[in-house]
Amino acid sequence: MSYARVLCAGLLGMEGRIVEIEADLAPGLPAVILTGLPDKGLNEARERVRAAVVNSGQTWPQRRITVNLQPATMPKHGSGFDLAIACALLTAAGDLPAAPLDGVVLLGELGLDGGVRSIRGVLPMVAAAVRHGVSRVVVPIANAREATAVPGIDVRAVDTLERLISFLRSEAHLLDLPDIPEPPPASPGLDLADVAGQELGKYAIEVAAAGGHHVAFFGPPGAGKTMLAERLPWILPELDDDAALEVTAIQSIAGVLPPHSTLVRRPPFQSPHHTASTSALVGGGTGIAKPGAMSLAHRGVLFLDEAGELAPSTLQALRQPLESGRVIVARANGTTEFPARVQMVVATNPCPCAQPAGDQACICAPAIRRRYLARISGPLLDRIDIQVHLRALSAAQLMTNDAPTDSSMIIAERVAKARAAAAARWSMNGWQTNAEVPGPQLRRPPWRLPNNDTKVLRTGLDRGRLSVRGFDRVLRLAWTIADLDGRQRPNREDVDEAAQLRMGEERADRINRPFSFSPSANRTTAWKEP
């Protein structure tokens, strides 16, 4: 027999695709020809496979070898095809039986010594095998636990090509799956109680976590912007099965999933440096597009520290993904889509000099301050639900430890209850948090609030101080505040409170509304501007 066919899998963006590896041996000068749009890394598989086969004790066929990867129109990239190519050509040469490979997907990179090494993107590839009706998959031992996260398929692990060859000849067994290690004790993580003062900032983080809202912090250095942002993931609930599969698949494709990992349950946290490029932030690169920090933060938190130092064009690239929850990267050789449903936290100083004492010590001219803040454009800022101006801490606030402050654990319990209330209300429509609810839904019965309760919003909209998008985002905030307080529907106080979180006290005054806020009696943590 001079022809054989073996199943493998590749990636097209976030989606796994089944690939058929065909091997044909014909008379002629010894050579290996790869067809089917292989990239450079896959073209180099010819030398890796040859060395692995020889070092596994097998004879390399001295014939003209043609390896075709179907579908031929799909670009193939990476080294995950090595194991399937080796088995296909050995089967075509008559050194391996074809029956044991029928309906089996083979994944793995080969070392020159014949070892089977881990690859990226195993989880979406195995999911593609399940959709294709495949019942068994062979993966590197380092990827075995990741593959078992996909239900409905028999996962086998292998460490060397020699072991797989012996198994196919019924001379040996494959490796048992590695034991799942005992989970380490749950880490308490970063605690909001460690943040001195800034009760308004802490409350903003709690509301953001409860409703899935974006946050922007403005304030001098040392005010606590970064500390607040870094503690947001620790008050978010753990990911459910569907979200965990999505997050694990993205990390697997990006190559940041640790070996022998199963599903990722903790919401991810990404904090790219302010010199990051547009491709690094939203995804891209040469050839096949790769996920950026925004997709790596999917179902978690994307923190942009020193946002005023980011290139304006890079910040503008965030506008469409923040609305749609996905990144679509178009290249000459195809279009790739990545999920990007994140909670974004933006932190920036109010001006370039960034005096620790705040505005009263600033040496920047008004035009310089306006130009610096304008780097975060109005359209992008309009997509951020909560916008809080933090003030510099006084010595008394920094040194006082007697004030009662809720820990992240207590706040996480309130967040979980609020999210459960929102999910019960919106789940029939496919939404889990208030931030996902479309604005028209909140402006129509039965969810429409009385005109008297939304007076401040209608006044702001009529006078051009609030956009339609901003109007809807304040409504979403009001529903989240009501969920935190345990009410079925928001009242006027909730809407006023949401307006302050959105526009700030100064902006609320601009629409001629006398603003005074007193915390709800039901809320454990009261907050006020110092």
**Mean of the pLDDT values across residues 58-67?**
94
Asked whether the predicted pLDDT for residue 309 surpasses 80, the reply is yes
The residue whose two tokens read 């890796």 is 48
Residue 466 token pair:
């609030």
% helix, strand, coil for the chain, step of 5: 40, 15, 45
Q: pTM, whole model, 2 decimals? A: 0.86
Tell me how crowded residue 379 is: count the other CB atoms within 10 A of its CB. 11
Q: What is the pLDDT of residue 175?
A: 81
Reply yes or no on whether the pLDDT at 224 is more than 50: yes
127 in the same domain as 228: no
Instruction: Indicate whether 204 belongs to any domain.
Output: yes
Looking at residue 100, its pLDDT comes to 93
Nearest Cα residue to 231 out of 258, 255, 196: 196
- Taking only the tens place, the pLDDT of each residue in 113-131 is 999 999 999 999 999 999 9
pLDDT tens column, 80-96: 999 999 999 999 999 99
In a domain, 185, yes or no: no
Q: Could you tell me if 247 and 323 lie in one domain?
A: yes
Residue-level pLDDT at 165: 95
Which tokens belong to 370?
């306006």
Instruction: Give domain status of residue 318, yes or no.
Output: yes
- Separation between Cα atoms, residue 199 and residue 204, nearest integer Å: 9
Name the nearest CA neighbour of 63 among 104, 87, 94: 94
Which among 120, 153, 168 is the end of a domain?
168
- Quick one: pLDDT at residue 516? 36
CATH number of the domain that residue 209 is part of: 3.40.50.300
Helix, strand, or coil (residue 466):
coil
pLDDT of residue 1: 60
Mean pLDDT across 167-183? 78
The CATH number given to whatever domain includes residue 65 is 3.30.230.10
Do 80 and 35 lie in one domain? The reply is yes
Q: Please state the separation of Cα 162 from the chain's center in Å.
A: 38
Computed over every residue of the chain, the mean pLDDT equals 87
Pair 144, 279 in one domain: no
Q: Does residue 430 form part of some domain?
A: no
pLDDT digits (tens, 9 = 90+) for 450-494: 999 999 899 889 988 889 999 999 999 999 999 999 999 999 999
- The DSSP code for 359 is G
pLDDT at position 401 over 70: no
For residues 366 and 246, state if they share a domain.
yes
Write the burial class of residue 251 (CB in 10 Å: 0-12 exposed, 13-18 middle, 19+ buried): buried
Q: Which domain holds residue 318?
A: 192-401
224 shares a domain with 81: no
| Residue 234 shares a structural domain with residue 117 | no
Same domain, 70 and 142: yes
Report the pLDDT value the prediction gives residue 529, as an integer from 0 to 100: 40
**Domain edge (last residue) among 135, 168, 201:** 168
Look at residue 91 and tell me if it is in a domain.
Answer: yes
In a domain, residue 301? The reply is yes
pLDDT of residue 181: 61
pLDDT of residue 210: 95
Q: Which token pair is 129?
A: 């095998």
- What is the mean pLDDT of the segment spanning 347-375? 82
Beta-ladder partners of 257: none
Task: Report the distance separating Cα 153 and Cα 18, nearest Å.
Answer: 15
Contact 45, 79 (CB under 8 A): yes
What does the DSSP 8-state code read for residue 58? -
Domain count, the chain: 3
Listed residues 168, 202, 233: the one ending a domain: 168
User: Cα separations (Å) of 24 from 88, 89, 92, 223?
Assistant: 9, 7, 6, 67
What pLDDT score does 523 carry? Answer: 47
C-alpha–C-alpha distance, residues 256 and 259, integer Å: 9
Q: 261 versus 484: which is more confidently predicted?
A: 484
Nearest to 493 by CA among 517, 457, 473: 517
Q: Is residue 388 part of a domain?
A: yes
Task: Tell whether 442 and 516 lie within a shared domain.
Answer: yes
Task: Report which of residues 158 and 406 the model is more confident about.
Answer: 158
For residue 220, pLDDT beyond 50:
yes
CA 144 to chain centre: 22
Coil, helix or strand for 195? coil
Whether residues 365 and 462 fall in one domain: no
Please answer whether residues 489 and 449 qualify as being in contact, where contact means their C-beta atoms are separated by less than 8 angstroms: yes
Q: What is the CA radius of gyration of the chain?
A: 28
| 152 shares its domain with 204 | no
Model confidence at 262, pLDDT cuts 50, 70, 90, reads confident
Whether pLDDT at 55 is above 70: yes
User: Does position 513 have pLDDT exceeding 50, yes or no?
Assistant: no
Tell me: do 58 and 12 sit in the same domain: yes
Q: How many C-alpha atoms does 292 have within 13 Å on its Cβ side? A: 29
213 contacts 477 by C-beta, under 8 angstroms: yes
C-alpha angle with apex 496: 416 to 391, nearest 5 degrees? 80
> 473 in a domain, yes or no?
yes
Contact 81, 15 (CB under 8 A): no
